[in-house]
Amino acid sequence: MESNGDREFCANGTCMKTAEVEAKLDQGNIQDAETALRDGLSLTSEEARALLGKLEYQRGNVEGALRVFDGIDLKAAIQRLQPSLSEKPAKKGPSHAESPSSVTQHAASMVLEAIYLKAKTLQKLGKFNEAVNECKQVVDAVEKVFSQGIPETQGDNRLQEIVSCAVELLPELWKQAGCYPEAIKAYRHALLSQWNLDNNCCARIQKAFAAFLLYSGVEASPPSFSGQVEGTYVPKNNIEEAILLLMIILSKCSLGKVKWDPSVMEHLTFALSICGETSILAKQFQELMPGVYHRIDRWNSLALCLSGAGQNKNALSLLRKSLHKHERPDDLVALLLAAKVCSEDPHLGAEGAGYAQRAVDKAQGVNEHLKGVALRMLGLCLGKQAKVASSDFERSMLQSKALQSLEEAVRLEQNNFDLIFELAIQYAEHRNLAVALRYAKQFFDKTGGSKLKGWRLLSLVLSALKRFSEAEVVTDAALDETSKWEQGPLFRLKAKLKIAELRPMDAIEIYRYLLALVQAQKKSSGPQSLSSQFGMV
């Protein structure tokens, strides 16, 4: 084996300088270099070539390393070593002499490392399919010989290190070769077989597999465990499997078995967010060891999670702590989040407007996009504040300020369709229906009629202008463009239009149809989804 510190090859209790071998390699005399190693260290031809290939690889000469590795019959060498490797190594006596089995394991390490490095060499040369075949040789050979795991040997864990590296590399090679089902199998095999992987290696494989499941776009079939214990949880899809893997890593971090890796929490945040489980994510933030995140960063992350879970009261409580004058009172993201939370409650509108104004001042001349977001939040908070104003004068003043803020935000964020929608709503509530109609049409045009709320807003503004026939045309067009289970709010709107046109019998027929639709949906998906599907709340 080579020692990097003093640049020596060491094997079978003998050492020799690498300089002599390197000189022969530089001259292109691979055969002479091999002979020098065989004579100097009492090695077989395969073992000598394995060390030469490793030396070339470490020198950065990947093509030269491949030429050396290609001259070794590695498969035959492994087959010769297998009977000896199956024996348990004898314990060393007082003289510390190595047993024959231990010597054989050193030889196996050299040969297996050569196969592994050949795979790495082929990977660097972009020959991924060939690299897969070489790496599989290591995995298959060790799995065949050590079906119960690699035995521990005193003073030498090199074989275990090589096997761990090969097991970790194989799924990456399958991915690079474009064989994604095989990569998934390799990941699961690596995590479920008896490889005696250390905690850090296992955590790296788990994280890489979780990232693949989340971002690759390849839908993995659910794992099947033949010897599964009854009641064991089996993930049903990519996201569930990724979340399970990431939570296992976090558990190891909490127990001190592996080093903290912030990217694990980032992946878990993404996974739990896309499936709407931010309350579970909040629990994960709460369970992290102190010191992993700064307390203010933890408060802000928790507040975001709780807000996503609808727990605005708790979220705002954390944000108030975060924005205290002795903490981070000018944190722009926290100010925007606090303003957003307040914008959903009229009684918190004044507080939210204060946060939003501070955010506007903070973003001024620094970030035009965030300034636009802050102005939008300011307009929404002022609009909510106007709803609980104590006088008509105060209400009118607040509504005017809200419209002014939203108008300014639109100038900065011209492609923000939701902002245009909110501006139309504000003008409609302010009874400025002509301008509300203009923004409603603008939202409709920019979204191409793809948003149900755009159809409804346009119809509502037209009906408020007493243009009932046009409102009904818009509603009928929306029904043609909308799937069956999303038509409930539109039918309710159409029924109200019939009533406004003094046609109650037509309205009754529409309500009958709507009732039948609700009953059909109830049988299809259960009552819990009715309120959202049909706008009953």
Closest Cα partner for 320 from 431, 306, 309? 306
3-state secondary structure of 404: helix
How many DSSP H helices and E strands does the chain contain? 26, 3
Q: How far apart are CA 169 and CA 195, in angstroms?
A: 14
Q: Quick one: pLDDT at residue 174?
A: 97
Identify residue 371 by its one-letter amino acid code: K
Paired tokens of 140: 């298959």
**Burial annotation 494-503 (CB, 10 A radius, 16+ → b, else e):** bbbbbeebee
Q: How far apart are CA 337 and CA 317, in angstroms?
A: 12
| Degrees, nearest 5: CA angle 21-22-25 | 90
Q: Find the radius of gyration of the CA atoms of the chain.
A: 34
Look at the block and give the residue holding tokens 């050193």: 106
Sign of CA dihedral 439, 442, 446, 448: positive
Neighbour tally for 106: CB within 10 Å: 17
Count, residues in the chain: 537
Q: How far apart are CA 493 and CA 499, in angstroms?
A: 10
The overall longest dimension of the chain from CA atoms, in Å, is 107
Sign of CA dihedral 350, 355, 356, 358: positive
Asked if 168 and 190 touch (Cβ cutoff 8 Å), the reply is yes
Q: How far apart are CA 380 and CA 48, in angstroms?
A: 75
Surface-to-core class of residue 412, CB atoms within 10 Å of its CB (0-12 exposed, 13-18 middle, 19+ buried): middle
Which phi-psi region, left, alpha or beta, contains residue 155 (left: φ > 0; alpha: ψ -120 to 50)?
left
Q: Using the 8-state DSSP alphabet, how is residue 251 labeled? A: H
Asked if 427 and 435 touch (Cβ cutoff 8 Å), the reply is yes
Q: 92 phi and psi, to 5 degrees?
A: -75, 140
Q: How far apart are CA 399 and CA 87, in angstroms?
A: 85
Please tell us whether the domain made up of 1-85+101-145 is placed in CATH 1.25.40: yes
Q: Quick one: pLDDT at residue 470?
A: 87
Q: Quick one: pLDDT at residue 85?
A: 54
What does each of the 537 residues of the chain score in pLDDT, given as a tens digit? 444 445 777 777 677 777 777 887 777 777 878 788 887 777 778 888 888 888 889 888 888 888 888 877 766 666 665 655 555 554 444 444 444 455 566 777 788 888 999 999 999 999 999 999 999 988 988 887 776 666 665 445 788 899 899 999 999 999 999 999 999 999 999 998 888 889 999 999 999 999 999 999 999 888 775 545 555 678 889 999 999 999 999 999 989 999 999 999 999 999 999 999 999 999 999 888 888 899 999 999 999 999 999 999 999 999 999 999 999 999 999 999 999 999 999 999 999 999 999 999 999 888 899 999 999 999 999 999 999 999 999 999 999 999 999 999 999 988 888 899 999 998 988 888 999 999 999 998 888 888 888 888 888 898 888 898 888 888 888 887 777 777 778 888 888 888 888 888 988 988 888 888 888 877 776 544 444 444 433
**Burial annotation 190-207 (CB, 10 A radius, 16+ → b, else e):** bbeeebbbeeebbbbbbb
Q: How far apart are CA 283 and CA 262, in angstroms?
A: 16
Identify residue 234 by its one-letter amino acid code: V
Surface-to-core class of residue 405, CB atoms within 10 Å of its CB (0-12 exposed, 13-18 middle, 19+ buried): buried
For 65, the enclosing helix (H) or strand (E) is helix 62-70
Closest Cα partner for 381 from 417, 355, 353, 414? 353
Q: How far apart are CA 502 and CA 56, in angstroms?
A: 91
Q: 330 phi and psi, to 5 degrees?
A: -110, 20
Residues 6+ apart with CB under 8 A from 26: none
Q: How far apart are CA 441 and CA 458, in angstroms?
A: 7
**Helical residues (DSSP H) of 236-391, grouped into ranges:** 238-254, 262-274, 278-287, 295-308, 312-322, 332-342, 349-363, 368-387
Which phi-psi region, left, alpha or beta, contains residue 43 (left: φ > 0; alpha: ψ -120 to 50)?
beta
Look at the block and give the residue holding tokens 């035995």: 151
Closest Cα partner for 56 from 88, 87, 26? 26
Q: Quick one: pLDDT at residue 5?
A: 44
Residues 6+ apart with CB under 8 A from 370: 332, 336, 359, 363
Question: Residue 14's beta-bridge partner residues?
Answer: 11
